[in-house]
């Protein structure tokens, strides 16, 4: 990509991952957990420049929930507080039966997007999120039937192979949209060269989103902006604003990455532009 192509390229889609399903207010008291808190956080993130919100559901005690009813409460709160943000549900998780992983897809109306983990992940000391090909295919089939755009989550090089395998097995709507994820454990090591390689290995015509966990969130978001991709930030992936300083909100993290984009000459997408770019 030339610099002229970069300046004239497509607007930046910013996804805000608001809450996640692992750490809670014990990690950062500003992390939203209830439907009302998540709805207000979505509105603030949208005002700060996010066009997509990535949602997990939580039980009243703060633990992860896959229940359709809980996602429905959250979606209703997001629509009540936010203007036009794109809703993206998570289907990822550990220790849940395959049938439960389908439940976030069954709200009314369904989410416009949903995550689709592309392979197994080690989590904690004794847990693995299996994400078998059978589960991936069944989740994709229900997304297709309900008109939900899959966001393919690529945690390592093996998952990139699975993206190509999924394309061989199933018809995916254009454009293919993949999130390239960097950090510790089962994730791709957070090195700029590894991001460049991942972008080169994407299917032709795919659009990509960049996610760095923890301290890698801002550097990898900046690289994603420069490479013409899109970015994800938020308290699910990083509870700090800088070393030793907890983030005040998801909106604060969105505001920072949109400032970087503006300083680099990259337009930030509205929700309407995001829908066009992602084929929603």
- pLDDT for 116-170, tens place per residue? 999 998 877 767 788 999 999 999 999 999 999 999 999 999 999 999 999 999 9
- pLDDT for 198-256, tens place per residue? 999 999 999 999 999 999 999 999 999 999 999 999 999 999 999 999 999 999 999 99
Task: Name the pTM for this structure.
Answer: 0.95
Where do the domains of the chain lie?
Answer: 3-278
269, two tokens:
């997408």
CATH number of the domain at 3-278, please?
3.20.20.70
């Amino acid at each position: 990509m030339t610099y002229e192509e970069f300046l004239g390229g497509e607007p930046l889609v910013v996804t805000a991952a608001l809450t996640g399903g692992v750490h809670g207010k014990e990690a950062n008291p500003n992390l939203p957990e209830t439907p009302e808190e998540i709805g207000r956080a979505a509105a603030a993130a949208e005002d700060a420049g996010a066009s997509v919100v990535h949602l997990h559901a939580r039980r009243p005690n703060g633990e992860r929930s896959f229940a359709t009813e809980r996602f429905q409460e959250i979606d209703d709160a997001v629509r009540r507080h936010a203007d036009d943000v794109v809703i993206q549900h998570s289907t990822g998780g550990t220790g849940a039966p395959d049938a439960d992983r389908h439940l976030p897809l069954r709200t009314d109306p369904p989410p416009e997007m949903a995550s689709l983990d592309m392979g197994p992940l080690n989590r904690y000391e004794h847990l693995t999120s299996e994400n078998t090909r059978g589960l991936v295919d069944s989740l994709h089939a229900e997304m297709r039937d309900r008109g939900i755009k899959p966001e393919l989550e690529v945690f390592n090089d093996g998952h990139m192979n699975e993206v190509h395998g999924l394309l061989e097995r199933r018809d995916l709507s254009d454009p293919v949209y993949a999130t390239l994820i960097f950090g510790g454990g089962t994730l791709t090591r957070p090195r700029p060269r590894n991001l460049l390689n991942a972008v080169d290995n994407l299917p032709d015509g795919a659009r990509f989103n960049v996610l760095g966990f923890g301290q890698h969130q801002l550097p990898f978001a900046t690289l994603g902006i420069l490479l013409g991709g899109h970015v994800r930030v938020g308290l699910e992936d990083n509870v700090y604003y800088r070393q030793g300083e907890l983030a005040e909100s998801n909106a604060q993290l969105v505001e920072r990455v949109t400032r970087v984009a503006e300083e680099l000459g990259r337009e930030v997408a509205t929700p309407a532009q995001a829908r066009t770019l992602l084929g929603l």
